C-alpha cells in the first residue's frame, strides 16, 4: 500500500517580523480532494502564510511540506522546480498580461515549466473551455469574472497538487463572485488537488470543507 503525503502539511510554523510574532507555532493539514478557507483580520498574516507555502518566505522555524517535500529545506533551484510542478496560485487581480490572449496567459505557465508548445496550448484551451472563458481577443478586453477564471485556468494548467488562492473573489461583484466561488470549490473534487482559499467573504469561506481563522498569530478552527 502506498501512503500519499498530504498536499499541504504545516508543523510548528513560526515567523516573526521585527518584534511581532506574525505566525506563532501553526499546524495545518490539507489533503488531496479537500478545501480549506482561511479568514482573519487584515494584516493578520494570511498572505504571509501562503507565501510560506510557496517557499517565498522562509519561516523562523517549523516545516511546510507540499506533496511531501519541506519547502523550507529545498535549494533555490529545487524549490523553483517543486513549485512549478506542484503549486498553482490565484491572486486577487489575476496578475495576467492584458495584451496577451487568454490561452497565451494560461499556456505561458506550462511553457515556462518546459511543456512543449502544442500540449501547453491544447491544455490551456481545454481549461478555458471548461471554465467558460471566450477565446477571441486579448485578456484586457475580458470582464472581471472572465479574467479571474483565466487566472484559475493558469493555476491549474500544470495539474498542481495544491492550489492557493489569495482573495480570488475580492475584486468581483456579488454574482460573479458566486460563479467564481462555485468553480473554485468544485476543483478539488474534479481534479483531485487540495485548495486553500484566503478570503474576507464569509459566504465564500462557508463553501470550503474546513475553515480556520488567523488571529494574533494563531489558527482557530471554525465550523
Ligand X SMILES: Nc1ncnc2c1ncn2[C@@H]1O[C@H](COP(=O)(O)OP(=O)(O)OP(=O)(O)O)[C@@H](O)[C@H]1O
Q: State whether the Cα torsion 17-18-20-26 is positive or negative.
A: positive
Residue 17 engages ligand X in binding (rule: CB under 6 A):
yes
| Positions 34 through 63 that interact with Mg ion (CB under 5 A) | 47
Site mask for ligand X (CB under 6 A), range 114-143, x = bound: ------------------------------
Residue whose entry in the numeric block shows the C-alpha cell 479568514: 39
Q: State how beta strands 162-166 and 8-17 pair.
A: unpaired
Question: From start to end of the chain, where are the E strands?
Answer: 8-17, 20-30, 35-39, 61-66, 69-70, 87-90, 162-166, 194-198, 210-215, 218-222
Residue 81 engages Mg ion in binding (rule: CB under 5 A):
no
Residue 44 engages ligand X in binding (rule: CB under 6 A):
yes
Candidate ranges 7-15, 36-44, 128-136, 181-189; the one touching ligand X (CB under 6 A): 36-44
Instruction: Determine the size of the site formed for Mg ion (CB under 5 A).
Output: 1
Residue 56 engages ligand X in binding (rule: CB under 6 A):
no
Torsion angle in degrees (nearest 10) through CA of 151, 152, 155, 160: 180
Residues that bind ligand X (CB under 6 A): 17, 22, 40, 42-48
Residues that bind Mg ion (CB under 5 A): 47
Amino acid at each position: 500500500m502506498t501512503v500519499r503525503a498530504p498536499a499541504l502539511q504545516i508543523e510548528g510554523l513560526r515567523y516573526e517580523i521585527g518584534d511581532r510574532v506574525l505566525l506563532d507555532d501553526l499546524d495545518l493539514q490539507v489533503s488531496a480532494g479537500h478545501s480549506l478557507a482561511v479568514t482573519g483580520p487584515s494584516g493578520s498574516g494570511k498572505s504571509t502564510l501562503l507565501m510560506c507555502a510557496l517557499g517565498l518566505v522562509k519561516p523562523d522555524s517549523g516545516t511546510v511540506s507540499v506533496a511531501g517535500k519541506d519547502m523550507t529545506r529545498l535549494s533555490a533551484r529545487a524549490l523553483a522546480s517543486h513549485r512549478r510542478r506542484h503549486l498553482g496560485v490565484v491572486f486577487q487581480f489575476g496578475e495576467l498580461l492584458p495584451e496577451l490572449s487568454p490561452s497565451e496567459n494560461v499556456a505561458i505557465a506550462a511553457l515556462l515549466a518546459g511543456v512543449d508548445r502544442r500540449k501547453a496550448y491544447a491544455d490551456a484551451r481545454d481549461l478555458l473551455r471548461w471554465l467558460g472563458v471566450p477565446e477571441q481577443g486579448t485578456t484586457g478586453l475580458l470582464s472581471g469574472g472572465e479574467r479571474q477564471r483565466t487566472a484559475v485556468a493558469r493555476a491549474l494548467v500544470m495539474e498542481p497538487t495544491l492550489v492557493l488562492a489569495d482573495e480570488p473573489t475580492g475584486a468581483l461583484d456579488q454574482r460573479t463572485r458566486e460563479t467564481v466561488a462555485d468553480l473554485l470549490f468544485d476543483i478539488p473534487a474534479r481534479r483531485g488537488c487540495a485548495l486553500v482559499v484566503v478570503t474576507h467573504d464569509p459566504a465564500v469561506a462557508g463553501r470550503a470543507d474546513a475553515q480556520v481563522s488567523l488571529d494574533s498569530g494563531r489558527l482557530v478552527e471554525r465550523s
